[in-house]
Amino acid sequence: MTLSSLHELSERFRGRDFLDFSTYTGEEIKALLDGAKSLKILRQQGEQHLLLQGKTLGMIFDKASTRTRVSFEVGMFELGGHALFLANDATQLGRGEPIIDTARVLSRYLQAIMIRTFAHQSMEELATYATIPIINGLTDEHHPCQVLADLLTIEEKKGHFDGVTIAYVGDGNNMAHSLLQAAPLVGMNIRVATPSGYEPDATIVAQAKMSAKSSGTEILVTNDPYVAALDADVIYTDVWASMGQEESAQKRINDFSTFQVNDALFEAADDDAIFLHCLPAHRGEEVTESVLEGAHSVVFDQAENRLHVQKAVMVAVIG
């Protein structure tokens, strides 16, 4: 994909929201990934790619962030634009201004908004009233930018998606939801293993199974991590207690104790399996040091890819 084809990417997607994968096809996801690969190459070659010169992205943060904030800010800078950090407690949102008012005001100033918040419904409300694209930087229900980075990493390491099996072990949270949405669309099998009572949303699972039926892939939700990991090509986990769940952290540690990704679990996977984690990781809880720092771990390549895929999304929807 050349600079001219990156312009074509923006012609195709300009003005669209990126809230989750429910309104995207597998072919569209792959187009975004192709854009990310081209932008990654341009960066590695030191070639300027000021595709968003003069454009401004507003970034609303209700949750703490390292990778999301830095990757979006750096990405917008490298694209020639400007990223404006808007902490909740430093804006009128933090003093009770309705999000529907914020949406309409910011639409007069900015070319897009990235929001990292709690309730997915709040982001959907923002998107309803904004007249500019909304990008989901994370909600409690979905984390599509992270999964784009995951997909790019899997494609780089495996060379393709067709027939690749990803095993997600842990909480049926936003990561599980976005992986369930995206995996069958690009041709991957996905297995999700959670303790009883922590399964992913049943509606999202049902939608994923419909997508899998169309693509000829497989979906499995189980309470046995070894069933999920058996001969898997990718093992994925996330923290057991996400932001906002601190009060239940100790209970979750007890409930998830047999769902740790350790050497024994990893031995059930394919010999060439890779390990993914969206980070930050709690070493010794959901993953052992030996796996996180082991030869199969590609978590820092995965973290880097947040930058490239988010640049592709911004070029696509803003450009």
Catalytic residue among 49, 67, 191, 306: 306
The tokens for 120 are 């997915």
Sign of torsion, CA 136 137 139 142? positive
How many independent structural domains does the chain possess? 2
What confidence tens digit (pLDDT) does each residue in 206-254 have?
Answer: 999 999 999 999 999 999 999 999 999 999 999 998 877 777 889 999 9
Strand partners, 296: none
Strand partners, 83: 57
Sign of torsion, CA 155 158 163 165? negative
Distance of alpha carbon 37 from alpha carbon 20, whole angstroms:
21
Do residue 161 and residue 285 come from a single domain? yes
Where residue 36 falls among pLDDT bands split at 50, 70, 90?
Answer: very high
Do residue 161 and residue 235 come from a single domain? yes
Would you call 145 a catalytic residue per the annotation?
A: no
Do residue 36 and residue 135 come from a single domain? yes
Find, among 248, 221, 68, the residue nearest to 148 by Cα.
68
Domain, as residue range, for 200: 146-302
The whole-number pLDDT of residue 93 equals 78
Q: Which amino acid is at 144?
A: P
Do residue 225 and residue 125 come from a single domain? no
The tokens for 111 are 């070319």
Note whether 154 and 161 are within 8 A (CB).
Answer: yes
Would you call 306 a catalytic residue per the annotation?
A: yes
Do residue 165 and residue 235 come from a single domain? yes
Q: What is the DSSP letter of 200?
A: P
**pLDDT above 70 for 1:** no
Do residue 134 and residue 237 come from a single domain? no
What confidence tens digit (pLDDT) does each residue in 104-144 have?
Answer: 999 999 999 999 999 999 999 999 999 999 999 999 999 99
Do residue 288 and residue 151 come from a single domain? yes
Sign of torsion, CA 307 312 205 63? positive
Do residue 191 and residue 130 come from a single domain? no
Distance of alpha carbon 95 from alpha carbon 284, whole angstroms:
39
**10 C-beta neighbours (distance < 10 Å), count:** 19
Q: What is the dihedral of CA 251, 256, 257, 259, to 10 degrees?
A: -170
Where residue 89 falls among pLDDT bands split at 50, 70, 90?
Answer: confident
Distance of alpha carbon 169 from alpha carbon 264, whole angstroms:
14
Do residue 68 and residue 35 come from a single domain? yes
Would you call 49 a catalytic residue per the annotation?
A: no
Q: What is the DSSP letter of 4?
A: H
Do residue 227 and residue 243 come from a single domain? yes
Would you call 142 a catalytic residue per the annotation?
A: no
Would you call 69 a catalytic residue per the annotation?
A: no
Catalytic residue among 49, 142, 143, 252: 143
Would you call 104 a catalytic residue per the annotation?
A: no
Q: What is the CATH number of the domain that holds 44?
A: 3.40.50.1370
Do residue 311 and residue 293 come from a single domain? no
Do residue 185 and residue 243 come from a single domain? yes
